[in-house]
C-alpha cells in the first residue's frame, strides 16, 4: 500500500466537496446569464463566495475567484504594481517590488518578468534575505523600505513556505509597510486550512490561496483583495469578478472550494494537533534510521507548519532518494526544481545559506487529512536502505 506524503503539492479531494462539484456540474447555466438557470448559477457562486469569506475573515466582495494560486499571485503582483506605478492614482517613482528570496515561483517569476519586460515600466525587483530557518530578515526589509519608501510599489511575502514549512512574520511586515502606505500581498497557499488565517485582522492588502491544497478540485482558487484597492486586471474580456478577473465563473468549482475551505478551517485545530504528532513521530523515526539527516526550517513550533517535515541527507541526491522511495511505496517530493530537465538546487535552501551539495539531498514529507501512523511507519521502514543505496550509487557515479 502506498504511503502518500506529498499533501503540500496536492491533497485528496474531500468527499463532500466532490459531491458538491458533481451536483453542480449536472446543472446548466452560466453565472453571467440573466435567465433562470443563469441566476441559479449566480446564486451558487455568491453563496460560495460568502462561505469562503466567512472562513478566512474577509468580506464577500473582497474574494475574487481565480483558477488557482499561480493566477492569484500573478494578478496580485502585476495588478498591484501596475496600479501603483501608472494607474489613476499611480506614481512613476514606484518602481521597486520587494519580495522574500524564498517565495514560490508564482510570485518570483511575475515579479522578475516585470523587471525584464517593457510592460514592467522599469520595475526593479529586490529579493530580501532570510535567516538559516528560512524566515524573512526584518532588518533587511526595514533597511530596504526606509532607503526610499516612495519608490516601493508593493511588498510580497508568503505566509508559509512551501518547501521547509517556515511561517513568515506577516504582522511585522504589514506594520512596517503601513507606516509608509505600501500594500502587502501574501501567498497563503500553504497556510489557509493549516494555520489560523484572518484576512481582516492581518492588515494585508491581498492574499492568495488555492483549492487543491484544501480538499477542493485543482483549477480553482482565490485572491482576497482589500475593499477599495486599485488593481489592474491581467485578463480582459467579459468583466466578471468585479472587472478584476474576466472569464466565465465555474459555479461547480466555486461550490467545491467553499465546501473544502469551510471544512478545513472548521477542523483546523484538531487536524493540526494530529499532524504535529505524526510529523514529530516521523522526524524521530527518520533521525533514528538516518542519524546524520538534518531537519530544515523553523525550530519554534509557532513558526512552522504542523504537517511538513523537510530534511537534507548528506551524500545522497534528492532525486535518487525520491525514485527509490517511490519504488518502495512512499510518495514525497524533493526540495529541488527542474529547469529544462536539469535538476537545480532549491532556491529556498540556497537562500537559507546551504551549499549546492547540502541542498542536493533534500526531501519534503508533507502530511494531510488522510495521513496515518502506518504511513509514517512505512517511511521509517524503507528510508534506511534507500539512503544507503542512494549513497552507494552516488559514490559509484563520482568514481566513474
Residue intervals of the chain classified under CATH 3.90.1150.10 are 268-399
Sequential pLDDT tens for the chain (400 residues): 899 999 999 999 999 999 999 999 999 999 999 999 999 999 999 999 999 999 999 999 999 999 999 999 999 999 999 999 998 889 999 999 999 999 999 999 999 999 999 999 999 999 999 999 999 999 999 999 999 999 999 999 999 999 999 999 999 999 999 999 999 999 999 999 999 999 999 999 999 999 999 999 999 999 999 999 999 999 999 999 999 999 999 999 999 999 999 999 999 999 999 999 999 999 999 999 999 999 999 999 999 999 999 999 999 999 999 999 999 999 999 964 444 345 678 999 999 999 999 999 999 999 999 999 999 999 999 999 999 999 997 766 566 5
Residue intervals of the chain classified under CATH 3.40.640.10 are 15-265
Note the pLDDT of residue 88. Answer: 85
Residue closest to 255 by CA, chosen among 16, 33, 68, 7: 16
CA distance 164 to 308: 7
Per the CB < 8 A criterion, the answer to whether 240 and 35 are in contact is no
Angular region, 330: left φ>0, alpha ψ -120 to 50, beta rest: beta
Note the pLDDT of residue 200. Answer: 98
**338 is annotated as an active-site residue:** yes
Render the burial of 90-99: b for 16+ CB within 10 Å, e for the rest.
beeebbbbbb
CATH class (in words) of the domain with range 268-399:
alpha beta
Task: Indicate if the alpha-carbon torsion angle 232, 238, 243, 247 is positive or negative.
Answer: negative
Note the pLDDT of residue 144. Answer: 98
Q: Compute φ and ψ for 59, nearest 5 degrees.
A: -85, 145
Residue of 28, 295, 337, 338 marked active site: 338
Which CATH number does the domain 15-265 belong to among 3.30.460.80, 3.40.640.10, 3.40.50.720, 1.10.10.10? 3.40.640.10
Beta-carbon neighbour count of residue 374 at 10 Å? 9
- The residue written with cell numbers 488555492 in the block is 210
Amino acid at each position: 500500500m502506498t504511503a502518500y506524503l506529498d499533501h503540500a503539492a496536492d491533497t485528496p479531494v474531500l468527499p463532500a466537496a466532490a459531491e458538491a462539484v458533481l451536483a453542480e456540474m449536472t446543472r446548466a447555466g452560466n453565472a453571467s446569464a440573466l435567465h433562470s438557470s443563469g441566476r441559479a448559477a449566480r446564486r451558487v457562486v455568491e453563496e460560495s463566495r460568502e462561505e469562503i469569506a466567512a472562513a478566512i475573515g474577509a468580506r464577500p466582495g473582497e474574494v475574487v475567484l481565480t483558477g488557482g494560486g499561480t493566477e492569484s499571485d500573478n494578478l496580485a503582483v502585476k495588478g498591484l504594481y501596475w496600479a501603483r506605478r501608472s494607474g489613476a492614482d499611480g506614481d512613476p517613482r514606484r518602481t521597486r517590488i520587494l519580495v522574500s528570496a524564498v517565495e514560490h515561483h508564482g510570485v518570483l517569476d511575475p515579479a522578475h518578468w516585470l523587471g525584464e519586460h517593457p510592460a514592467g515600466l522599469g520595475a526593479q525587483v529586490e529579493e530580501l534575505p532570510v535567516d538559516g530557518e528560512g524566515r524573512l530578515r526584518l532588518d533587511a526589509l526595514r533597511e530596504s523600505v526606509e532607503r526610499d519608501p516612495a519608490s516601493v510599489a508593493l511588498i510580497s511575502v508568503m505566509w508559509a513556505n512551501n518547501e521547509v514549512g517556515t511561517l513568515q512574520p506577516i504582522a511585522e511586515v504589514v506594520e512596517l509597510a503601513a507606516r509608509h502606505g505600501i500594500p502587502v500581498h501574501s501567498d497563503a497557499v500553504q497556510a489557509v486550512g493549516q494555520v489560523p488565517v484572518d484576512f481582516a485582522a492581518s492588515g494585508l492588502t491581498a492574499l492568495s490561496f488555492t483549492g487543491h491544497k484544501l480538499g477542493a478540485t485543482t483549477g480553482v482558487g482565490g485572491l482576497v483583495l482589500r475593499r477599495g484597492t486599485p488593481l489592474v486586471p491581467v485578463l480582459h474580456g467579459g468583466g466578471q469578478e468585479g472587472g478584476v478577473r474576466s472569464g466565465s465563473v465555474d459555479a461547480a468549482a466555486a461550490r467545491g472550494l467553499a465546501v473544502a475551505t469551510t471544512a478545513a478551517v472548521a477542523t483546523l485545530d484538531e487536524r493540526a494537533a494530529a499532524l504535529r504528532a505524526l510529523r514529530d513521530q516521523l522526524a524521530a523515526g527518520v533521525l533514528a534510521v538516518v542519524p546524520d539527516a538534518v531537519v530544515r526550517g523553523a525550530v519554534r513550533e509557532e513558526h512552522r507548519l504542523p504537517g511538513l517535515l523537510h530534511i537534507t541527507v548528506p551524500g545522497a541526491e534528492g532525486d535518487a532518494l525520491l525514485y527509490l522511495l517511490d519504488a518502495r511505496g512512499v510518495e514525497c517530493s524533493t526540495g529541488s526544481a527542474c529547469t529544462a530537465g536539469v535538476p537545480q538546487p532549491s532556491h529556498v535552501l540556497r537562500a537559507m545559506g546551504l551549499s549546492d551539495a547540502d541542498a542536493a539531498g533534500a526531501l519534503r514529507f508533507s502530511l494531510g487529512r488522510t495521513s496515518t501512523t502506518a504511513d509514517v511507519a512505512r517511511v521509517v521502514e524503507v528510508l534506511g536502505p534507500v539512503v544507503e543505496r542512494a549513497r552507494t550509487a552516488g559514490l559509484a557515479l563520482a568514481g566513474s
